[in-house]
Structure 1
């Protein structure tokens, strides 16, 4: 089990945290919930901003091309 010696590999978890598009809205909503002691009726503005941001992110989905490691394996097979 494991990877072959000498093969190319990129850890995708390392690059996964480069972009956090709705982090600011989520933090403001969670802060409001903490201040309001869990009552989300007092945080309707922050909740609507967070849901709008999340809806905008789902609209921007790109066509999946597979993982980068899959493509690296394909390139290395052609090189041999």
Structure 2
């Protein structure tokens, strides 16, 4: 079940923490909730911004190309 020697492999879990596009919106929303003592009506604008950001990042809007390791395997097969 191990990898072959000389094969291409990228640990995709290592790069999972690099992009966090909605982090600012989430922090703004949580800070607003803290200052307004959990009153969601007072933080409606921040909540809408967070929801819009999360919807724009959803996987259904993106075309899936498979994992990067699958693509690397395809490239190495063509090289042989």
Normalising by structure 2, what TM-score?
Answer: 0.75
Which residue of 2 is the match for residue 12 of structure 1? 12
Alignment of 1:24-39 (within 5 A): 24-39=24-39
Contiguous gaps of at least 5 residues in structure 2: none
Residue aligned with 1:21, SS: coil
Root-mean-square deviation (CA, aligned residues, Å) is 2.3
Q: Distance in 2 between matches of 1:57 and 1:73?
A: 27
Q: Which has the higher helix share?
A: 1
Which residue of 1 is the match for residue 41 of structure 2? 41
Which residue of 2 is the match for residue 63 of structure 1? 63
Normalising by structure 1, what TM-score?
Answer: 0.75
